[in-house]
Amino acid sequence: MIGTQHGTHVAHALPDAEQIQWRTSRFGAYEREREQAWTCTCRRIQYTLIHAGGVAFIRKVEDEKSVWDSPPTRLPEGEGLWTRLVMGEAR
Ligand SMILES: [Zn+2]
């Protein structure tokens, strides 16, 4: 489902889901942010997997004033975290 026009629907978080250490977004801190995958805009909270400057992170948007980024990781780890997020294994 990743990359489809309507975006992915994240599963409900599992009770023992990994807790992502969300931080206030450093939007603009990286050059050339590229969106790799995103969740459907029909949900209140949107998540986007971003690659920028050789790192990956997930951006969480609750509303205009509540934007969070996961800690940046190497690209494969970012893909893994994205998969766990979508599956409900991380939130
Ligand atoms: Zn939807």
Nearest by Cα to 2 from 37, 26, 32: 37
Residue 8 lies in a domain: no
35, β-bridge pairs: 50
Q: What SS3 state is found at 8? A: strand
Question: How many angstroms separate the alpha carbon of residue 2 from the centre of ligand 1?
Answer: 13
What is this structure's pTM? Answer: 0.89
Residue 14 lies in a domain: no
The tally of domains found in the chain comes to 1
Residue 74 lies in a domain: yes
Question: How many angstroms separate the alpha carbon of residue 10 from the centre of ligand 1?
Answer: 9
Question: How many angstroms separate the alpha carbon of residue 75 from the centre of ligand 1?
Answer: 26
From first to last of the 91 residues of the chain, give the pLDDT tens digit.
Answer: 454 567 899 999 999 999 999 999 977 788 889 999 999 989 999 999 999 989 999 999 999 899 999 999 999 999 999 999 999 999 9
DSSP per position, 47-67: EEEEEETTEEEEEEEEETTEE
Residue 13 lies in a domain: no
Domain that holds residue 76: 23-87
Question: How many angstroms separate the alpha carbon of residue 39 from the centre of ligand 1?
Answer: 8
Question: How many angstroms separate the alpha carbon of residue 40 from the centre of ligand 1?
Answer: 5
Helices (H) and strands (E) in the chain, counts: 1, 5
pLDDT of residue 71: 96
